[in-house]
């Protein structure tokens, strides 16, 4: 089996990640913040240590500004639905995932105005178009850091400068880049960074988070969920302070511990070295697919301009047929279709059929890429 679906979820996970889940349940299985006994205190300590780890990983000074959520979709909804009100205007790119577009379309019916900035056919953001869109007032800019369809990396620094110049906040969907690229929220000028743990951060499903930049006032951002936090239990009102304002209910202790293990694994192996490996195998995929007759590769031609995602189509063939044959005949696991991002597929010209997406990970080796390319060529020719 050759697993090339890491953009959906990374696999396999490092042994340390799996051990962290079982270890924390064995030695710190209490409910954090809800009791004063040793297991509860141990659980709370684990969670705070991971907050500290993530704060350093994403370049903020206050660990309490790392809010744990179930995934990136949850984190994006927290900002989009918590911040925007009828009459507000939000600016997005045409490459956004449905984790952004569905909550926005929901709010559009309630009076929020949406401006979509068209991207180029390779998924690249038109900065001139963004600047024009921000020539009138906007409350929020929401931008994917790297497309889950083409892998195209967006220029966050320039986008932040334009957003702040127009008085807007910048919320970034980092589902495909957290753990894959070095990210400093402070240096980039990002206000909100939504991440998920189960992709390039090498953690398990069911854990993600929202990083809120130092100095960003969250008082206008309403919580999605209200309830018990283990703090201010004498009051029936939601706490105003972070992270409790946005963290109601018992947290995913095992998921948080495993996420911390994933981050430590990335730091130990070096994010720059891991990035070099992904660029190498991605470059091989792009070159190998490009010379197969009838194959069209989407996205930037330079592997350095994208994360480890390569989408393609075959002239005259359905993507579902290609994906099924790759799996059943050659053991190559890919994802086909629209990837929950119809706007992106409209932008690159692959709607409504979608693409075949190959996404290598940190454990993908050169031999697996060679065999995958050979499999694609056989399926295309046969």
Phi, psi of 67 (to 5 degrees): -105, 125
d(CA 78, CA 142) in angstroms, rounded, equals 13
> What is the token pair recorded at 37?
């006994």
- Please name which of 317, 257, 366, 207 lies closest in space to residue 21, comparing C-alpha atoms: 257
* 64, 217, 257, 381 from 241: Cα distances, Å: 9, 11, 23, 60
d(CA 116, CA 95) in angstroms, rounded, equals 9
340 flagged as catalytic: yes
> What is the token pair recorded at 381?
């020719």
Catalytic entry in 119, 171, 221, 340: 340
d(CA 8, CA 165) in angstroms, rounded, equals 35
**For residues 299 and 357, is the Cβ–Cβ distance under 8 A?**
no
Residues with Cβ within 8 Å of 127's Cβ and at least 6 positions away in sequence, in order, are: 155, 158, 159, 162
d(CA 71, CA 87) in angstroms, rounded, equals 28
Residues with catalytic roles? 340
């Amino acid at each position: 089996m050759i697993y090339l679906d890491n953009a959906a979820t990374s696999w396999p996970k490092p042994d340390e990640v799996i051990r962290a889940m079982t270890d924390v349940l064995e030695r710190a299985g209490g409910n954090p913040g809800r009791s004063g006994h040793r297991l509860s205190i141990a659980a709370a300590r684990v969670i705070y240590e991971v907050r500290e780890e993530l704060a350093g990983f994403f370049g903020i000074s206050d660990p309490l500004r790392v809010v744990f959520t179930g995934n990136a979709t949850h984190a994006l909804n927290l900002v989009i639905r918590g911040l925007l009100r009828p009459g507000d205007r939000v600016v997005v790119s045409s490459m956004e995932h449905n984790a952004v577009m569905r909550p926005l379309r929901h709010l559009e019916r309630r009076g929020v105005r949406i401006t979509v900035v068209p991207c180029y056919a390779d998924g690249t953001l038109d900065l001139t178009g963004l600047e024009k869109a921000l020539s009138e007032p906007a409350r929020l800019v929401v931008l994917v850091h790297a497309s889950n369809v083409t892998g195209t990396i967006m220029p966050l620094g320039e986008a932040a400068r334009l957003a702040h110049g127009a008085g807007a906040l910048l919320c970034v969907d980092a589902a495909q880049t957290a753990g894959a690229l070095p990210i400093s929220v402070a240096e980039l000028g990002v206000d909100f960074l939504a991440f998920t743990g189960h992709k390039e951060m090498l953690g398990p499903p069911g854990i993600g988070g929202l990083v809120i930049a130092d100095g960003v006032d969250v008082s206008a951002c309403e919580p999605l969920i209200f309830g018990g936090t283990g703090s201010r239990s004498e009051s029936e009102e939601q706490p105003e302070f972070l992270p409790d304002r946005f963290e109601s209910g018992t947290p995913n202790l095992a998921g948080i511990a495993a996420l911390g293990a994933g981050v430590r694994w990335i730091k130990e192996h070096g994010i720059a070295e891991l990035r070099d490996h992904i660029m190498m195998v991605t470059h091989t995929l792009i070159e190998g697919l490009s010379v197969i007759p009838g194959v069209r590769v989407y996205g930037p031609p330079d592997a350095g301009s994208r994360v480890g995602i390569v989408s393609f189509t075959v002239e005259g063939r359905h993507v579902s047929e290609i994906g099924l044959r790759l799996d059943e005949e050659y053991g190559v696991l890919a994802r086909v279709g629209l990837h929950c991002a119809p706007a992106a597929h409209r932008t690159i010209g692959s709607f409504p059929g979608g693409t075949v997406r190959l996404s290598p990970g940190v454990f993908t080796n050169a031999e697996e890429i060679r065999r995958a390319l050979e499999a694609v060529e056989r399926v295309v020719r046969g």
